[in-house]
Amino acid sequence: MKRIRVNFIFRKQGEGHNSIEELFHSIIANLPEEIDTKIVELPYGGASIKSVLLNLWHVLFLKGIIHVTGDVYYIGLIPFKKTILTIHDTNVLELPYISSLKKVFIKWFWYSLPLKTAKRITVISDFTKNQIKEIYPKALKKTVIIHNPVNPILETKPKQEVAIQTRVLHLGTKPHKNLTNTVKATYKLGYKLIIVGKLSENQKALLLEYPVEYENYTNLDFSEIKALYETCDLVSFVSYLEGFGMPIIEAQKVGRPVVASDRCSIPEVGGHGAVYVNPDEVEAMVKAYKRVVEDPLFRNQLIKRGFENVKRFEVPTVCSAYAKVYEELEKR
């Protein structure tokens, strides 16, 4: 293979949203040596017209393949570039707290137009592929599914027994992460809830109304999140809307049972290694938590199936898929 230059475009780093960059660092570190990599962090965050234009200018004169790793898909608007877009989801277009006018702006400049101009598109799940189809069906001709990799720093850490007070790990506090019903379910069972993410005032009020014992962590690096996986007894991921669902495969890698939502991409990612529930039904969540905690045979079977499932998301498999895309695009 001849040497290939790939520029990895990272959004400007901000508080609490670095998960895309974390997973691409692991990909970059494990690509074939024939691929020359450069990380380009954009200088401006946000979605203002000024930020968009300045970020486009920042990328305009780069040589080689431009790989937009996520979020800032408008970089794909630059013409005459060998551009790859990695689309994680289009969920922002469905969020109720985003104004209709802003959704129109985002749809055109983050999705519709870049999907037309990009040379290649990768998506992280079949669910996301179907979202793309709804926006620009012709994009499917140049789209390939490449799953997110599980972070290689995670280690399998078997836990022989559940703690006296069960520790339930919940990652994310945005509305679609469904912290509300997670709080209600864990309160009913007297479990301890470990929450990663900044709490809103409404969420703090909810925790007073349902006084579950909890710990709250913000701005953690991944080594700290790793430690939370290792000390928890189960991971709850009953989200309403996801393009993938990294906590599922991270929990499976460590060896923790997962109770997850039956919505969107989540069953596709979790495979047979999770218990799926309706995220609107607190009693279904309670029943699932209780079975995982109180039935050791079922719990161990679930963990074993998780180990098998997570093999699909190991870094070498993902790197090989991306390397193939780079090779094909370089030949154009």
**What is the distance between the alpha carbons of residues 150 and 36, in angstroms, rounded to a whole number?**
23
Q: Are residues 191 and 99 in the same domain?
A: no
Phi, psi of 282 (to 5 degrees): -60, -40
Which burial class, exposed, middle or buried, applies to 45 when counting CB atoms under 10 A from its CB (0-12, 13-18, 19+)? middle
DSSP letters for 135-179: H-GGGGGGEEE-PPPPPTT------SS--SS-EEEEE--SGGG-H
**Average pLDDT estimate for 7-14:** 91
Q: Given this model, what pLDDT does residue 111 score?
A: 95
Q: Please give the structure tokens belonging to residue 236.
A: 């709850």
Q: What's the mean pLDDT in 320-331?
A: 94
Q: Would you state the structure tokens that stand for residue 39, as one six-digit string?
A: 């990380």
131 and 249 fall within a common domain? no
Please give the torsion angle defined by the CA atoms of residues 17, 23, 24 and 30, in that order, rounded to the nearest 10 degrees: 160
**Is residue 152 one of the residues assigned to a domain?**
no
Per the domain annotation, does 319 fall within a domain? Answer: no
> How many distinct structural domains can be found in the chain?
2
Domain termination site, one of 111, 146, 181: 146
Q: What is the pLDDT of residues 55-98, one digit of tens each?
A: 999 999 999 999 999 999 999 999 899 999 999 999 888 888 88
* pLDDT of the residue at 258: 98
Domain match, 10 and 140 both: yes
pLDDT tens digits, one per residue of 161-184: 887 889 999 999 999 999 999 999
Q: pLDDT at residue 112 above 70? A: yes
Does 184 share its domain with 134?
A: no
Residue 198 placed within a domain: yes
Give pLDDT tens digits for 22-56.
889 999 999 999 999 999 999 999 888 999 999 99
pLDDT grade, residue 238 (50/70/90)? very high
State whether 131 and 263 are in the same domain. Answer: no
Cα–Cα distance, 303 to 306 (Å, whole number): 5
- Note whether residue 120 is domain-resident: yes
Residue 63: CATH number of its domain: 3.40.50.2000
Is 154 part of a structural domain of the chain? Answer: no
Domain hosting 295: range is 167-312
**Domain-embedded: residue 222:** yes
User: Using one digit for the tens of pLDDT, what is the confidence trace for 201-234?
Assistant: 999 999 999 999 999 999 898 899 999 999 999 9
Same domain, 141 and 258: no
107, 316 Cβ separation under 8 angstroms = no
Does one domain contain both 260 and 298? Answer: yes
| Span 185-197, average pLDDT | 97
Residue 104 in any domain: the answer is: yes
In the chain, the amino acid numbered 140 is L
63 with 181, same domain: the answer is no
Quick one: 48 and 125 in the same domain? yes
- Do both 171 and 141 map to the same domain? no
Looking at residue 13, its pLDDT comes to 84
Pair (133, 209) in one structural domain: no
pLDDT at residue 46 in the model: 86
Percentage of residues of the chain with pLDDT beyond 90: 84
Answer whether residue 16 shows pLDDT above 60: no
**Is residue 325, in this structure, part of any structural domain at all?**
no
Which run of H or E residues covers position 296? Answer: helix 296-310
Domain co-membership, 116 together with 250? no
The mean per-residue pLDDT over the stretch 273-283 comes to 98
User: Would you place residue 15 in the very low, low, confident or very high pLDDT band (cuts 50, 70, 90)?
Assistant: low
pLDDT band at 1 (very low <50, low <70, confident <90, very high): low
Predicted local confidence at residue 17, as pLDDT: 58
